[in-house]
Amino acid sequence: MRTAPDNAVRSFVAEHTADFLGELEEWLRIPSVSADPERAPEVRHSAEWLVAALRRTGFPVAEVWETEGGPAVFAEWPSGEPDAPTVLVYGHHDVQPAAREDGWATDPFEPVRQDGRLRGRGAADDKGQVFLHTLGLRAHLAASGRTAPAVNVKLLVEGEEESGSPHFGALIRAHADRLACDTVIVSDTGMWSEDTPTVCTGMRGLLDGQIDLRGPDQDIHSGSFGGAVPNPAVEAARLVAALHDEDRRVAIPGFYDGVVELGPRERELFAELPFDEAAWLRGAKSHAALGEAGHTTLERIWARPTAEVNGLHSGYGGPGGKTIVPADAHIKFSFRLVAGQDPARIRQLVTDWVAAKLPDGIRHEVGFWGEGTRPCLTPLDHPALRAQVRAMGRAFGQEIRYTREGGSGPAADLQDLLGVPVLFLGISVPSDGWHSVDEKVDLDLLLTGVQAAAYLWEELAADWAREPWPAAGA
Amino acid sequence: MRTAPDNAVRSFVAEHTADFLGELEEWLRIPSVSADPERAPEVRHSAEWLVAALRRTGFPVAEVWETEGGPAVFAEWPSGEPDAPTVLVYGHHDVQPAAREDGWATDPFEPVRQDGRLRGRGAADDKGQVFLHTLGLRAHLAASGRTAPAVNVKLLVEGEEESGSPHFGALIRAHADRLACDTVIVSDTGMWSEDTPTVCTGMRGLLDGQIDLRGPDQDIHSGSFGGAVPNPAVEAARLVAALHDEDRRVAIPGFYDGVVELGPRERELFAELPFDEAAWLRGAKSHAALGEAGHTTLERIWARPTAEVNGLHSGYGGPGGKTIVPADAHIKFSFRLVAGQDPARIRQLVTDWVAAKLPDGIRHEVGFWGEGTRPCLTPLDHPALRAQVRAMGRAFGQEIRYTREGGSGPAADLQDLLGVPVLFLGISVPSDGWHSVDEKVDLDLLLTGVQAAAYLWEELAADWAREPWPAAGA
Ligand SMILES: [Zn+2]
Ligand SMILES: [Zn+2]
């Protein structure tokens, strides 16, 4: 097996940086805002631009895949090596809405390089992080003298991620054979900070929906009837209050069954991160930390399941008072789930729990916005993860630390539908302004990411050659 | 002391019924809707009409009293008797809004007599019940051969009751000397039913307001921050849930201190009323009874203090879901209070309780819509109440039973500011449609009420002659 000497990768990347950034800027100029129906042609234009760019990179297969919504891009570059593993890179080519009037320093779709950064909508989320794989692959080939990658590389770049990936599950199911792989690399996440390169090892799942309570058939007078019939506002509050116990643990029976607890090593690794809680609270626009007893803030947002109330509405909300018992109450809720929790099982637990909690005279419905998103988690000792950490270590020249992602994303669909472990290779940092004004990517980090991507293929191939990886969840 | 023989009162009332109803209909044609600024001239017209009618009745003093809002009417007819007690009758001449388009069978301001009923806005609430005192007084004089009533009669008829009596306290304070009296008769309530004449012995007090909670400075992402910072929707729910214990008693420490508990005799009297809980629930548009353990529904709505939530609003309320931790939450609450509870003290208890309940990171404000309305209660053995029950018994020829009023009204201002006990003489029944379409008054009940009012003055005078009554709350 040929291994690329590190200086060869570095010099190839340096030589081709100008062209690479010029091309990326061209892509950033295409306003592929999936949430805006008027920009559907731009989303298509973005997909077609990417197909052309991937062909120029050398992918023998690069094509647009249609969905019921915005088009995705698929590309494939088989390895020359027999028995090489297959790796699927995931990203997205659509972007969040952006307009100069929102407060951008310059036109969000006219990228600007300034102070070592590239500013523009999609620079970090996610065009920059998708595009780094093109130069990464070329550096891998050039430095190792190969004509094809050390692993079978596949690329799936969706066009509706910023709109909630409504057709992504169907897309994967429709093309399951062509997407077959041994691991997925998600390049749509970030790192702890410029100084602390990290690898994300999992995302939480999500189950959200609404509980509707109905009491009286209409609002009734509280002086005449209050205190003698059930009040939906009060019952909704009692339900929400019962969601957590005094330790702020979720109090729905069975909720924690099967939860993969943090091991002592992972808790230690989290604790070693340079976490400044006061600064984090400022970022959270919040004035105190509060959560499950016995866990730190990082553990709470990354590795613990939660129950949140996103909306609670009942009765009169105008100025002054109105002495009524409201007719109904509505609770919007979201559960974040961690490895070991199945959204379908939690759904049943929640449904049963609500029914058991409510008094006579309160009718109710529990609805969910979908089947839920499953959590994903790659164990610290998974060989593919260890290979990625080695590749990143070579690029950054630093110890790579571990994080997780508190949010939820389509990564879990890839894990579950393809049955493989998911790795996260991201070089964006929290200050990059995802979904916000003046989104940017740090050019040093972007080019270091290109190098990490270059080393990744040979590290994965070498590891696989020693022993093929276990499947997801195994 | 001359006492009117019952047949004399009956025949006088019968002789003058036609004129009495004709005049009442004239008054009902004046649309004195206090809530509608465009009808302010009609409210004034109504006051002036009443002054003229009271002068025709024989009141030597009858005048319009100005307020910052709609005008009130005051009238006075001194007794010829030395040492006679002074009795102030309270009612209101303004009415609720009404329009044919709301579903009225006929024009709400064109009264119609049909099936033994007089239909029209204000027929029961409250013009009919005010006006019965005119014929009542004349019957009292005619049957007893007097030229002046057996007691000093005063009348205060406000013009803003249906708008919350915003200037009533100020009006009483401004005219405290002329309103001085030994008891107040409120004629703005009802009876149990056509078959069960009752006297109301008290109204509950009211304290209402709003609690505002603020957590994050703006809505924040629940995937990134949820479960690690306090959520105002959850904290509002925990606060509301903590309002009641598992027995549905109000759980604010000190809330029940001083509460005048129902005695065994009054509980027995409530229990004897022909109460049909299923029918009551239909009237409450509710599907189950629920309230303070150890008390019946009637006890709960009439004689027990309650805490109700009239509105609860936090976070996202649109279609579908939105994974946020809301920035704020708002609770609209109302407490009904009973004798022994002082709104100012409850206000302090609520304010302290909220402050003690909330976690760090949740800022809050507790506001009240006013100083609150005090409860009022006349003990069953109060001699003035016993005199009223005798007068009603003579008119109805039936045992008079006891009720209370769950709502709150300006009666308590009269009790507190004038320092006298309050009696309630009302002949309206629940089916009269107060504040609703097709408001009506039963003509038999109205004319029986005229008789009760006629007997009332001599019963009160006779009782007072034996021994003057104790003051309010004494
Ligand atoms: Zn993204
Ligand atoms: Zn009224």
**CA-wise closest residue to A470 among A342, A381, A364, A396:** A381
CB contact (8 A) between residue A225 and residue B284 = yes
The dihedral through the CA atoms of B14, B18, B22, B23 has a sign that is negative
Contact B373, B334 (CB under 8 A): no
- Residue A401 forms beta bridges with which residues? A198
For A217-276, give the DSSP string.
SS-EEHHHHTTTS--HHHHHHHHHHHTB-TT--B-STTTTTT--PPPHHHHHHHHHS---
Contact B234, B371 (CB under 8 A): no
Contact B232, A298 (CB under 8 A): no
Q: How many CA atoms lie within 13 A of A126 on its CB side?
A: 24
**CA-wise closest residue to A385 among A275, A266, A258:** A266
Phi, psi values for residue B324, rounded to 5°: -125, 160
**CA-wise closest residue to A127 among A407, A440, A453, A422:** A440
Question: CA B290 to CA A207: how far, in whole Å?
Answer: 32
What pLDDT is stored for residue B474 in this prediction?
41
CB contact (8 A) between residue A317 and residue B315 = no
CB contact (8 A) between residue B321 and residue A330 = no
Strands A328-337 and A306-315: antiparallel
Instruction: Name A397's Cβ contacts closer than 8 Å, sequence gap at least 6.
Output: none
Residue B210 above 80 pLDDT? yes
The size of chain A, in residues, is 474
**CA-wise closest residue to A214 among A288, A375, A325:** A325
The structure tokens listed for B400 are 């008079």
| Interface size, chain A vs chain B, as Cβ–Cβ contacts under 8 Å | 289
Q: Chain B within 8 Å of A241 (Cβ-Cβ)?
A: yes
What pLDDT is stored for residue B412 in this prediction?
85
HEC profile of B96-126? CCCCHHHCCCCCCCCCEEECCEEECCCCCCC
When pLDDT is averaged across residues B247-269 and rounded to a whole number, the result is: 96
Q: Chain B within 8 Å of A292 (Cβ-Cβ)?
A: yes
- The number of helices, as runs of H, and strands, as runs of E, in chain B is 14, 18
CB contact (8 A) between residue B310 and residue A222 = yes
What pLDDT is stored for residue A1 in this prediction?
44
Q: What is the pLDDT of residues B92-145, one digit of tens each?
A: 999 999 999 999 999 999 999 999 999 999 999 999 999 999 999 999 999 999
Q: How many CA atoms lie within 13 A of A103 on its CB side?
A: 6
The size of chain B, in residues, is 474
Closest ligand, as measured to the CA of B161: 2
- Provide, as residue numbers in chain B, all residues whose Cβ is less than 8 Å from the Cβ of A313: 312-314, 317
- Tell me A63's DSSP state: E
Q: What is the mean pLDDT of chain B?
A: 95
- A351-355, B50-54, B78-82, B437-441: range with lowest mean pLDDT: B78-82
Q: For residue A440, give the H/E element and its range.
A: strand A440-442
Edge-to-edge order in the sheet of strand A440-442: A112-114, A117-119, A440-442
What pLDDT is stored for residue B3 in this prediction?
60
Question: CA A342 to CA A405: how far, in whole Å?
Answer: 18
What pLDDT is stored for residue A9 in this prediction?
96
Average pLDDT by consecutive 10-residue portion of chain A (474 residues)?
72 97 98 95 98 98 97 96 95 95 96 97 97 98 95 97 90 96 95 96 95 96 94 98 98 98 94 95 95 98 97 95 94 96 97 98 96 91 95 96 90 88 94 91 98 96 90 55
Contact B158, B165 (CB under 8 A): yes
Contact A372, A337 (CB under 8 A): yes
Q: What angle do CA A296, A302, A308 make, to 5 degrees?
A: 90
Q: Which residue among B233, B332, B359 places its CB closest to the CB of A311? A: B233
The structure tokens listed for B356 are 């003690």
Look at the block and give the residue holding tokens 């003093």.
B61
CB contact (8 A) between residue A286 and residue B322 = no
Q: How many CA atoms lie within 13 A of A327 on its CB side?
A: 5
The structure's pTM equals 0.90
Question: CA A76 to CA A87: how far, in whole Å?
Answer: 10
- H-type alpha helices, B275-365: 277-283, 297-302, 343-357
Contact A204, A408 (CB under 8 A): yes
Question: Among B224, B275, B286, which would you mutate to test the A interface (most chain A Cβ atoms within 10 Å of its Cβ)?
Answer: B286
Q: What is the pLDDT of residues B369-395, one digit of tens each?
A: 988 989 999 989 999 999 999 999 999
- Residue A405 forms beta bridges with which residues? A203
Question: Among B189, B225, B333, which would you mutate to test the A interface (most chain A Cβ atoms within 10 Å of its Cβ)?
Answer: B225
Q: Please compute Rg for chain B using Cα positions.
A: 24
For B16-83, give the DSSP string.
HHHHHHHHHHHHHTS--BTT-GGGHHHHHHHHHHHHHHHHHHT-SEEEEE--SSSPEEEEEE--SSTT
Q: Which residue among B288, B311, B363 places its CB closest to the CB of A229? A: B288
CB contact (8 A) between residue B286 and residue A320 = no
- Provide the 10 A C-beta neighbour count for residue B217: 13
- Provide the 10 A C-beta neighbour count for residue A375: 27
CB contact (8 A) between residue A206 and residue B223 = yes
Q: Chain B within 8 Å of A247 (Cβ-Cβ)?
A: no
Closest ligand, as measured to the CA of A123: 1
| CA of A325 relative to ligand 2 center, distance in Å | 21
Q: Chain A within 8 Å of B208 (Cβ-Cβ)?
A: yes
What pLDDT is stored for residue A273 in this prediction?
96
- Provide, as residue numbers in chain B, all residues whose Cβ is less than 8 Å from the Cβ of A308: 222, 226-227, 231, 234, 323, 325
- H-type alpha helices, B228-293: 232-242, 264-272, 277-283
Q: What angle do CA A396, A397, A398 make, to 5 degrees?
A: 85
- Provide, as residue numbers in chain B, all residues whose Cβ is less than 8 Å from the Cβ of A436: none
Question: Among B299, B301, B308, B403, which would you mutate to test the A interface (most chain A Cβ atoms within 10 Å of its Cβ)?
Answer: B308
**Which domains, ranges and CATH numbers included, belong to chain B?**
6-203+375-466 (3.40.630.10), 205-259+305-368 (3.30.70.360)
Q: Which residue among B220, B237, B362 places its CB closest to the CB of A309? A: B237
Residue B2 above 70 pLDDT? no
- Most distant pair of Cα atoms in chain B: their distance: 86
Question: CA A321 to CA A210: how far, in whole Å?
Answer: 27
Closest ligand, as measured to the CA of A157: 1
